Chain A
């Protein structure tokens, strides 16, 4: 089974992020380390497990600026056979729906039975990719998979919603986004990292995909730090005393009792 894995590079989860004073819609990138989006690691791992077990090729598709090569190499070192990369600014800056259209076009020639991506991009907090790509390819989608079982041209997916786990059956091909807990992503070995340097990364342009990107439908006007929190109250001492003060605060300030 051929599998397309959609992934992206994002700032490290530990990074402290500040808006760029020169570009109000961007972060200061100078001191930020970038990584493969953590949820996309689950998608890469899931694709590798499926293709290792039952054959086929797992190919990566990435939209991102020049710095993204490191994340692409990481995905290749994990085991994807090759990668397709769209790095044009018009694609990189496009809104999520337009990016989905671009990825759908990039994936199409490969005709995968399964398209996998992480459940969310942790930078832009977008979680629409799998569903939107599925729409543009006219195939079904399932988001947030905690487990995928493949049988006879179908996939059974377990996903969590508020207060329940859903078992969803989907025909293939389908686009599925992966949640944490679906697997334990592998760490690439040194040999795998070395081998990944020789793997193919093919840059494609929007023109080659036959696409024109029009006016963005959404625009980040500015990035702002969250409002600072007021300085709090601190108590220490005997457990019964501090618990008592906690109760007073819950009743008096938070007013939850």
Chain B
């Protein structure tokens, strides 16, 4: 009987949203394959280990101690691999967050595994297990068979349904991997401004391009994003002009995102940009140029000046959301 192991990535002592989604995917796979579902948790995290049962895990492998106080690829990889060895895991699931991707890569090499990263669909009934992952930055989708064993899969945040919470207790097993050598370690974490959400995790993204005309214009974009409790995105043109930092860039040489709603303001929608946001559930485009490619692809396109339309939208949204 195979086993499915999920990396329980945490954020401020809670199971991270991407990890809840990995748990959701894991539970579905566990049901299909009739396999046990376990979590690998690193770091103290208060009494989180005992509480993880409610996300569907029957067992939690908890690694604590000085090696796990801060993230390191080497120690975390050792812990997850050890947990996997104990439960004889043949599928490892992680959220494709920054650290999830980091861990998945080292883990797959260590286990000589079949690796599929940033997966957007799992073919639940397939054999060998098949997944869909965007390639060429989303210009195409690759139906990929994982023929090797074990399998390491990272799933794109915001795509899979998170685990349904239930009343269930998990058995907690403490684990101390032996061969831990930490040669690269996080020394310092500098938190982004409060309330600033990363584009890869946001349900709503308000994004600005060349039409925003400068850093001042991005204040409008930020205001609208704030009103919608969303994140601020940007096109390559805006980033390369120095109007906003690179971490906001969406597109082929930036981040690939799948929000519920993407509002493109003053963005022409070049193929490289569309590659990064074309899988958004809903797209609104605001542009003075009705011939801009984004206007053809948007679900709702507003021909107009963003400097006039965006402030009105922001006011109306603030009113609507207050109600």
Residues of A within 8 A of B (CB): 11, 13-14, 16-17, 19, 25, 27, 38-39, 95-97, 100, 122-132, 134-136, 139-144, 146, 156, 159-171, 174, 179-181, 215-226, 229-230, 232-237, 239-240, 242-247, 249-251, 253-254, 256-257
Q: Give the number of A-B contacts (CB < 8 Å).
A: 275
Residues of B within 8 A of A (CB): 71, 73-74, 97-99, 101-102, 104-106, 108-110, 112-118, 130, 133-148, 183-192, 196-198, 200-201, 204, 228, 245-247, 249, 252-254, 256, 260-261, 270-272, 278-279, 281-284, 290, 295, 297-305, 308-309, 312-313, 316-317, 320-321
Residues of A within 8 A of B115 (CB): 95-97, 128, 217-218
Residues of A within 8 A of B295 (CB): 234
Picked from B198, B252, B321, the residue with its CB within 8 Å of the CB of A13 is: B252
Inter-subunit contact A239/B73 (CB<8 Å): no
Residues of A within 8 A of B290 (CB): 234, 236
Picked from A159, A163, A220, the residue with its CB within 8 Å of the CB of B142 is: A220
A133: nearest residue on chain B (CB-CB)?
A: B109
Inter-subunit contact A233/B299 (CB<8 Å): yes
Inter-subunit contact B316/A164 (CB<8 Å): no
Picked from A132, A240, A253, the residue with its CB within 8 Å of the CB of B282 is: A253
Picked from A14, A17, A141, A160, the residue with its CB within 8 Å of the CB of B184 is: A141
Picked from B101, B117, B184, B249, the residue with its CB within 8 Å of the CB of A180 is: B249
Closest 9 CB pairs of A and B: A217-B148, A128-B105, A131-B105, A170-B184, A236-B303, A140-B184, A135-B109, A161-B98, A132-B109
Q: Give the complex CA separation of A239 and B190 in angstroms.
A: 40
Chain B contact residues: helix, strand, loop or mixed: mixed
Q: Give the complex CA separation of A35 and B302 in angstroms.
A: 36
Picked from A159, A171, A181, A240, the residue with its CB within 8 Å of the CB of B312 is: A240
Inter-subunit contact B133/A144 (CB<8 Å): no
Specify which of A134, A161, A165 lies most central, judged by the most chain B CB atoms within 10 Å of its CB.
Answer: A161
Q: Give the complex CA separation of A225 and B279 in angstroms.
A: 12
Q: In the assembled complex, how far is the CB of residue B95 from the closest CB belonging to chain A, in whole angstroms?
A: 10
Q: In the assembled complex, how far is the CB of residue B117 from the closest CB belonging to chain A, in whole angstroms?
A: 7
Inter-subunit contact A125/B136 (CB<8 Å): yes
Inter-subunit contact A19/B145 (CB<8 Å): no
Known contacts: A166-B188, A217-B113. The answer to whether A171 contacts B183 by CB under 8 A is yes
Inter-subunit contact B271/A16 (CB<8 Å): yes
Q: Give the complex CA separation of A131 and B73 in angstroms.
A: 9
Residues of A within 8 A of B320 (CB): 247, 251, 257
Would you list 9 pairs from A and B whose C-beta atoms are within 8 A, ordered by A residue?
Answer: A27-B136, A39-B253, A131-B102, A163-B197, A218-B146, A222-B143, A235-B303, A236-B303, A236-B304
